[in-house]
Amino acid sequence: MTSLRPRQVLLGLAGLALFSMVLFMVWNAKGAWDFVLPFRGRKLWGLLLCAWAIAVSTVLFQTVTGNRILTPAIMGFDALYQMVQTLFVFAFGGFAYLTLPAELRFLGNAVVMVGLSTLLFRWLFGRHGGSLHLLVLVGIVFGVLLRSLAGLMQRLINPNDFVVLQDAMFASFGAIAPTLLLISTIVLGLASLVILPLLPQLDVLLLGRTPAIGLGVNHKRTVSLVLGVVAVMVSVSTALVGPVLFFGLLAANLAYLIMPTHRHAAVLPAAALLAVIGLVAGQAVLEHGFGFDTALSIIIEFAGGLVFLILLLRGGNR
């Protein structure tokens, strides 16, 4: 039996993703269509943006680090998000947090996360020669530090403010303001355009740092640019819906498993389509099938955590 070609696999995934989107839009739809379609359409738009950002950023990060266990979350983006939310509620109170325009909260979170991560990358690559191992180690240390500081402030705020803060800590794929969706679409689109001309160089990076340099790849420049794009994508998706730790790990490793090639031109869209299928179909089943109002991120993180443990036991290096 001949193996499937990458194009055939991508077409199959695209068909499943399209079916998931149609299912989400029409399943158990009640009431006027002129209300249902725009309402569900905004949710679907947000799910698609998050799926693309999380899956693509994870594949890119694993390429430059050379390890399929690592995800951008290892750099402490989730801890930074929690710290920003906790600091605002601690300083101004839960009522001020709720009354602040969603656009301002989104832009504030995204700018802070992109700015700090960019400064970290520039400092490490400027002073320490671009050591990825040091980058990961510093990210872990910063993550622990930020979580500890956030935990301290959470114990000092009053219970009412803590309830508001807890609601912001979990990823929510519910209705998102159209302005936020438009801003996120533009930013993620520009970040994706930056990656397109780098796809051949990313394929070479899979061979390792020394072979890539020997084949003419400017390793420092390419890795710095990719990490900048990763920071933007993770920051935007986290600011949009909240932290999602292991979902990218799940989508990326499923893409590696089913794709008959390691070329990024095939793996990146495969991971994105798998993420779309997981998010959209999962949200459709939970929300419209079972009528549950629970967070889809809880189930996703559970499945992703199991995949992480399996990869850790098997060994995640290429």
Residue-level pLDDT at 195: 92
Interacting residues of 306 by C-beta distance below 8 A, sequence separation 6+: none
Distance CA 19, CA 2 (A): 26
Collapsed DSSP state (helix, strand, coil) of residue 67: strand
90 Cα distance to chain centroid: 26
The confidence band for 76, taking pLDDT boundaries of 50, 70 and 90, is confident
> What are the C-alpha distances in Å from 73 to residues 171, 199, 203, 227, 246?
14, 23, 23, 13, 8
Instruction: Name the packing angle between helices 264-276 and 33-65 (round to 10°).
Output: 140
The confidence band for 219, taking pLDDT boundaries of 50, 70 and 90, is confident
pLDDT tens-digit map of 93-138 = 777 777 777 777 778 777 887 787 777 766 665 555 556 667 677 7
DSSP designation for 128 = S
pLDDT tens-digit map of 148-173 = 888 888 888 888 888 777 776 665 66
Question: What are the structural domains, with CATH classification, of the chain?
Answer: 6-314 (1.10.3470.10)
Interacting residues of 252 by C-beta distance below 8 A, sequence separation 6+: 55, 58, 59, 62, 68, 71, 271
Residue-level pLDDT at 70: 76
Residues 224/198, Cβ–Cβ less than 8 Å: no
